[in-house]
Amino acid sequence: MATPLTAARLLKALRDEGLTVVEHRSWRTHNRNHKGAWGPMHGVMIHHTVTSGTDSSVELCYNGHSTLPGPLCHGVIAKDGSVHLVGNGRANHAGLGDDDVLRAVIDETALPADNEANTDGNRYFYGFECVNLGNGQDPWPAAQLDAIEKAAAAICRAHGWTQRSVIGHKEWQPGKIDPRGFTMDSMRTRIGNRLGGKPEVPSKPPATTPAQPPASYEPFPGAAFFAVGRRSAVVTAMGKRLVAEGCGQYQVGPGPDWSEADRASYAAWQRKLGFSGGDADGVPGRTSWDRLKVPQV
């Protein structure tokens, strides 16, 4: 348990750890404290942005979007290793997660599997969004990994925590995959070494089953594919993914025939991603399609 760091103390802690820190707009007073409690603090949570480009990623994390107002974290860690502060206080980054995981973080013990979403993580965790597409192919430069290590260690050092107080979003909330591209056990080992602790012991035993092949997704078929009269299993698979993302507008279905319900559901998905106006017309585009990850049929 710890009192949240003030803006000045957070900034000093990060710079003392050797980080290049950029203060973005009015980050010192930018928060969601009017929506709920902020603190006591128990840990640091690492995410990936599912975006590319530093400037646009920082703006998104500062502003948020139509369904999730900013700030979406406290700092954005760019590929060059710079840390861009976008908020100080409660931020919309962690969401609901597992109370057993929170207890393990507080006790700094091995993490259990996250199988519940019953606890407000925005209250208890600092959050860092790291610029990466999260597709398993976008690289993690050494400078960025170093900055993640340093940023987490800086906060742990300020509060007297060990590396066990640092977790990934995927270890907190069921269904999340971030950060994807490195393991949190390996990152905790780095943080522990920086803090002068013992090497990290993996929180979960290695898998004994054969590795599964990577998931295959439907390639974008082009906007013209989604026209009145189109009948395809791809439309059904898309509809199921929209329902899973909480964007389904179906009374019955989804089914294989492209319909107005499909268009309304896809428009809800586009708005969830932050699109608006003509960019949220319900006709799939490549960017929104790739992020929906429709399983191959």
What pLDDT was estimated at residue 1? 58
Q: At residue 200, does pLDDT exceed 70? A: no
For the cut 90, the answer to whether the pLDDT of residue 201 exceeds it is no
pTM (2 decimals)? 0.68
**Domain 7-195: CATH class, spelled out:** alpha beta
Query: Using an 8 Å Cβ cutoff, are 68 and 47 in contact?
Result: no
Amino acid at 201: V
Asked if 105 and 168 touch (Cβ cutoff 8 Å), the reply is: no
| Residue 234 scores a pLDDT above 60 | yes
- What is the distance, to the nearest Å, from the Cα of residue 40 to the centroid of all Cα atoms in its chain? 22
- Structural domain spans, the chain: 7-195, 223-292
Q: If you average pLDDT over residues 267-277, what whole number do you get?
A: 91
Range 148-163 average pLDDT: 97
Residues 6+ apart with CB under 8 A from 161: 2, 43, 108, 155
Taking 50 as the threshold, does the pLDDT of residue 203 lie above it?
Answer: no
